[in-house]
């Protein structure tokens, strides 16, 4: 009996994407389905297009898809090609996307020193490890630390005298205010000067074909942060907090700042949630219990995960190899990867950006 396309589609409909809970046929993710005569029956080949990076899940996914299609009578060989295509999603009204950047994720915190930069670096690296094209912009003028965390130094090159090429390490394109000015000089910038410098850095960097640009925002919710969240085309924001009341209060201010300018919150990361003694393994809730989880629930936003207060996280970040690259199979790296997956899925679920599809309107003066 000849194998029909319909039979294959029906078989594929039984395979549910564990990340989205939907099957690939209803999601219109099956492409280039071909059925040909093989040596012992029909050979089937097709592509699956994911909207988020998931390299580590490809083997299990491929096995499930092949097993499902093999159950169709008459099928012999099955070959599957899994690809990811991240598209641009909608940003604030009236703000234009950046060339070479499909989605910008702002990583923000109300309070300083809560681990925003460490989270931003590990998030960028986790997305890159899953196969995405990723950039990291260090916009933290008060304490640019991405040069150290990502292990980059020197001056960015410019071939045309107008734009700069980002640095690259661990597979991520990096630009930091720390590469351009003496950090002590940046600290004293007043509002308008700081926002101008940050916007220039964002727009004059030759970002090369990025699925995601992670922006490590300056801590706080003042004028600089507000202006940036209005002008930078942001797909969504990730809020980092520690569980103590004061940090949570500031994190709430961060949430309302983004909501005010129409940037969706992708979720909350709770950092330094518990301390695990490196000698005896005793667990202590130094900054309180479940503060972040409660806040996420109260504000109706996703809780992306909790990182422990861990000496390894600090040592690895400070040595230019954040946990996701220093120890990719560790529990901590697993938590960061899980955060990254949820961020990518939340972005994939958002409305696409169609602005590029509309023709430009030009108004000419009739003489
Ligand atoms: N979970 C953690 N466990 C232990 N140390 C951590 C953890 N997260 C961050 N750190 C350390 O805490 C310090 C501050 O972290 P980080 O620079 O990421 O914070 P930040 O919120 O970006 O600060 P800033 O307000 O200066 O931008 C760093 O030395 C970092 O290595």
Q: Output the residue whose Cα is nearest ligand 1's atom 19.
A: 115
Q: How far, in Å, CA of 130 to CA of 32, rounded?
A: 24
| Domain residue ranges of the chain, discontinuous segments joined by + | 5-84, 101-348
Ligand 1 centroid distance, CA of 84 (Å):
32
Per residue in 64-92, pLDDT (tens digit) is: 999 999 999 999 999 999 999 999 998 98
Q: Whose CA is nearest to atom 16 of ligand 1?
A: 115
Q: Cα(248) to centroid of ligand 1, in Å?
A: 16
For residue 337, what are the contacts with CB-CB under 8 A and spacing of at least 6?
A: 56, 126, 129, 130, 324
Q: Above pLDDT 70, what percent of the chain?
A: 95
The model's pTM: 0.92
Residues with CB under 6 A from ligand 1: 109, 112-118, 140, 143, 145, 219, 271-272, 307, 309-310, 313-314, 317-318
Q: Is 95 annotated to bind ligand?
A: no
* Nearest protein CA to atom 23 of ligand 1, as residue: 113
Q: Which CATH superfamily is domain 101-348 in?
A: P-loop containing nucleotide triphosphate hydrolases (3.40.50.300)
CATH 3.30.300.130 fits 5-84, yes or no: yes
Question: Cα separation of 129 and 20, whole Å?
Answer: 20
Residue 115 among known ligand-binding residues:
yes
What's the complex ipTM? 0.98
Convert the pLDDT of each residue in 253-307 to its tens digit: 989 999 999 999 999 999 998 888 878 878 888 777 788 888 888 888 999 999 9
Average pLDDT of 177-188? 77
Residue 318 CA: nearest ligand 1 atom is 31
Common-topology check for domains 5-84 and 101-348: no
Q: What is d(CA 12, CA 316) in angstroms, rounded to the nearest whole number?
A: 43
Q: Convert the pLDDT of each residue in 293-338 to its tens digit.
A: 888 888 889 999 999 999 999 999 999 999 999 999 999 999 999 9
């Amino acid at each position: 009996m000849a194998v029909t396309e319909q039979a294959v589609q029906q078989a594929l409909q039984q395979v549910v994407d564990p990340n989205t809970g939907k099957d690939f046929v209803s999601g219109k993710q099956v492409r280039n389905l071909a059925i040909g005569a093989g040596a012992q029956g029909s050979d089937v080949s097709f592509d699956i297009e994911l909207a988020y990076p998931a390299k580590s899940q490809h083997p299990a996914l491929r096995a499930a898809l092949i097993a499902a299609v093999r159950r169709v009578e008459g099928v012999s060989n099955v070959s599957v090609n899994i690809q990811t295509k991240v598209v641009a999603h909608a940003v604030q009204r009236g703000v234009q996307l950046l060339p070479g950047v499909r989605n910008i994720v702002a990583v923000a915190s109300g309070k300083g020193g809560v681990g925003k930069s460490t989270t931003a670096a590990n998030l960028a690296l986790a997305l890159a490890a899953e196969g995405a094209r990723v950039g990291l912009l260090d916009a933290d003028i008060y304490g640019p630390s991405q040069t150290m965390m990502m292990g980059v130094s020197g001056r960015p090159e410019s071939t045309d005298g107008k734009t700069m090429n980002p640095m690259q390490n661990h597979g991520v394109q990096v630009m930091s205010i720390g590469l351009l000015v003496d950090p002590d000089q940046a600290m004293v910038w007043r509002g308008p000067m700081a926002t101008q410098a940050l916007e220039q850095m964002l727009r004059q960097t030759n970002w090369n074909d990025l699925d995601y640009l992670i922006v490590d925002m300056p801590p706080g919710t003042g004028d600089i942060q507000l202006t940036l969240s209005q002008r930078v085309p942001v797909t969504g924001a990730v809020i980092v907090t520690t569980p103590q009341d004061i940090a949570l209060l500031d994190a709430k201010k961060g949430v309302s700042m983004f909501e005010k300018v129409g940037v969706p919150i992708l979720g909350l990361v709770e950092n330094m949630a518990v301390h695990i003694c490196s000698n005896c393994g005793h667990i202590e809730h130094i900054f309180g219990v479940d503060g972040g989880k409660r806040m996420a629930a109260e504000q109706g936003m996703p809780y992306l995960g909790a990182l422990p207060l861990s000496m390894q996280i600090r040592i690895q970040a400070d040595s230019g190899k954040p946990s996701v690259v220093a120890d990719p199979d560790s529990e901590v790296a697993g938590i960061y990867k899980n955060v990254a997956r949820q961020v990518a899925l939340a972005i994939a679920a958002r409305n696409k950006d169609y602005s590029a599809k509309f023709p430009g309107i030009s108004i000419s003066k009739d003489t």
